Amino acid sequence: MSKPTSHQPIILPRDQHPISRKQIDEETLKVLYRLHRNGQLAYLVGGSVRDLLLGRKPKDFDIGTDATPAQVRRLFRNCFLVGKRFRLAHIRFAGNKLIEVATFRRHPREDELPEDHDEHFHFVQNVFGSPREDAFRRDFTINALFYNIADFSIVDHVGGLQDLREKKLRVIGDPLIRFSEDPVRMLRALEFAARLDFSLDETILAAIEAKKTLIATAAPARIREEIMELYRHKVAGPVLKQCRELGMLPHLLAGYPGTDESIALISKIDQRTASGVPIEEGFAIAALYLRLFMDSCPPSPDLHITEVLHKANEIIFPHCRYFSIAHGIRHQARELLVGCFRLARGRGTRGERRFLQHPLTPKSLELFKLWSEVRPELLPLVKEWQKAIQTSPAEKQETRRRPRRRRRKPSTRLPTH
């Protein structure tokens, strides 16, 4: 693993870089200034510095400091500490906004590591160090740039500025070691290259080839979140395609085949997300498995819907169980698959009226329309169903009332004898 050398960092003064404090949100600046006024180092760190230098809007802002978590808590009344192994300071502002402050860390010495090798990764995360040591602990050079609030300069210990200029993604240290430490870095490398339109360093590709099977050992919760990040950043299609080309996809998604048509559909969903439609996990899961489902369940009026439901459950259940997907999300994915089956077999079948009024039918049609762009022979069906949904009457909610019993008025006639 690479260790910090004696070389001095590259420091860009304020007049040599494009970052302005106007691009940093007010709460983040408040935290940076208070740390600085109290004699602590206060840096903007990570992806926010990278994005600002590239002219992009950061998703969030993270802060690095030489103050310990306990010192940060003493400086901010609205601060609380999180994490048992990886202590972070979260500073809360109005509207449930959180600013994350992390103490600079370093790689521990061999004699500092615990005897249990399985504890090494977590232990490595919690040894405090200098800014330079912290930079060399990070994953990619472009994510290890610092913005110093003391003089508004950019600090580069690892060559990230040059890699930004050359649009190259490079691992800090030996990729074989870094990917063994944390296999999710392989997926993140492909994600960053796709998001930023950067080329991958040859050593990264060689290391993925050597270590790709390790991705199956990563925590399912982390893989699940990274997959959804691909969808949110509109790069799920190209990244999963590259995973397949590198032989990593079956290890990433437990034998998932990733056919050309499936990848093409996922790329269509990337375009949908780019147009401003938020991605939902149930929709993403249905898209992943639509081709497999349609192949195993060919649309036919003779196939009972109970069998179709069973097949949809059978296909998505292993994925949902492995990634601990909530029942509601799994239910939505299943209903979207079944909806696509109904759409593919055409109109005039039993239960059509109920199907047209189902709340998930418009979303099923949305997925089916994207699928028809991959399989153009389905386009006439899309038009038929669009027309049917537009002309379908709204479901009438009739309230049944029990007939009121009329009370008999007492007779006013005198009895006759």
Whether the per-residue pLDDT at 117 is higher than 60: the answer is: no
Q: Is 194 exposed, middle or buried (0-12, 13-18, 19+ CB in 10 A)?
A: buried
Q: Which residue among 15, 25, 51, 60 is the active-site one?
A: 60
d(C-alpha 396, C-alpha 406), whole Å: 29
User: Is 116 one of the annotated active-site residues of the chain?
Assistant: no
Measure CA 285 to chain center.
Answer: 13
Interior angle at CA 198, CA 237 and CA 262, nearest 5: 10
- pLDDT for res 396: 43
Whole-structure pTM over 0.75, yes or no? Answer: yes
Q: Which residue among 66, 134, 139, 270 is the active-site one?
A: 139
Q: Is 134 exposed, middle or buried (0-12, 13-18, 19+ CB in 10 A)?
A: buried
**Domains of the chain by start residue, with CATH:** 7-166 (3.30.460.10), 281-391 (no CATH)
d(C-alpha 160, C-alpha 166), whole Å: 10
User: Is 111 one of the annotated active-site residues of the chain?
Assistant: no
- Residue 334 is encoded by which pair of tokens? 């299943």
Q: Average pLDDT over the chain, rounded to whole?
A: 90
234 strand-pairing partners: none
Tell me the Ramachandran region of residue 240: left when phi exceeds 0, alpha when psi lies from -120 to 50, beta otherwise.
alpha
Answer whether 32's CB lies under 8 Å from 63's CB: yes
d(C-alpha 180, C-alpha 393), whole Å: 59
* DSSP state for residue 134 in the 8-state scheme: H
Residue-wise pLDDT tens digits, 194-210: 999 999 999 999 999 99
Answer whether 167's CB lies under 8 Å from 148's CB: no
User: Is 139 one of the annotated active-site residues of the chain?
Assistant: yes
Whether the per-residue pLDDT at 6 is higher than 70: the answer is: no
d(C-alpha 170, C-alpha 160), whole Å: 9
Nearest alpha-carbon partner for 159 in 177, 145, 148, 176: 145
Q: Which residue among 62, 156, 163, 270 is the active-site one?
A: 62
Higher pLDDT, 50 or 398: 50
Answer whether 48's CB lies under 8 Å from 142's CB: no
Helix (H, G, I), strand (E, B) or coil at 307: helix
Residue-wise pLDDT tens digits, 231-255: 999 999 999 999 999 999 999 998 8
- pLDDT for res 351: 85
